[in-house]
Amino acid sequence: EADIYQTPRYLVIGTGKKITLECSQTMGHDKMYWYQQDPGMELHLIHYSYGVNSTEKGDLSSESTVSRIRTEHFPLTLESARPSHTSQYLCASSGGWGYTFGSGTRLTVV
């Protein structure tokens, strides 16, 4: 049973649309992360948060933004989607050294 939930699982959207990818966890973890991953490539950290009202950019530059208003919720927003944003987006949370990942959102921008 998953303790970290991502919705939607799949999303196909047109160029220029605004989208929000949802991520929620029920474990009470302070630390949450967003990764972007393409097939055959490493997971790239794009955003992270160490607690409410704390957000930081990761190693990979991203046009997305995040917010952390509640401990359990860490949504990612793209104001204007482009084909270059097509990828899998993985949300994770951590209460120690390991991560718990969500099932991911496969985003396709056409």
Partner 1 sequence: DQQVKQNSPSLSVQEGRISILNCDYTNSMFDYFLWYKKYPAEGPTFLISISSIKDKNEDGRFTVFLNKSAKHLSLHIVPSQPGDSAVYFCAASETGGSYIPTFGRGTSLIVHP
Asked if residue 41 binds partner 1 (CB under 8 A), the reply is yes
Asked if residue 97 binds partner 1 (CB under 8 A), the reply is yes
* Residue 15 DSSP symbol: T
Q: How many CB atoms lie within 10 A of CB 37?
A: 14
Question: In this chain, which of 7, 13, 72, 106 binds partner 1, going by CB under 8 A?
Answer: 106
Give CA–CA dist 36/27, Å, rounded: 22
Of 57, 75, 49, 77, nearest to 65 (Cα)? 77
62-70 long-range contacts, CB within 8 A, separation 24+:
62/36, 64/34, 66/34, 68/32
Question: In this chain, which of 92, 93, 107, 109 binds partner 1, going by CB under 8 A?
Answer: 92
Question: In this chain, which of 19, 25, 36, 48 binds partner 1, going by CB under 8 A?
Answer: 48
Stretch of residues binding partner 1 (CB under 8 A), selected from 12-20, 61-69, 71-79, 85-93: 85-93
Point out which residues bind partner 1 (CB under 8 A): 4, 6, 9, 33, 40-43, 45, 48, 58, 90-92, 97-104, 106
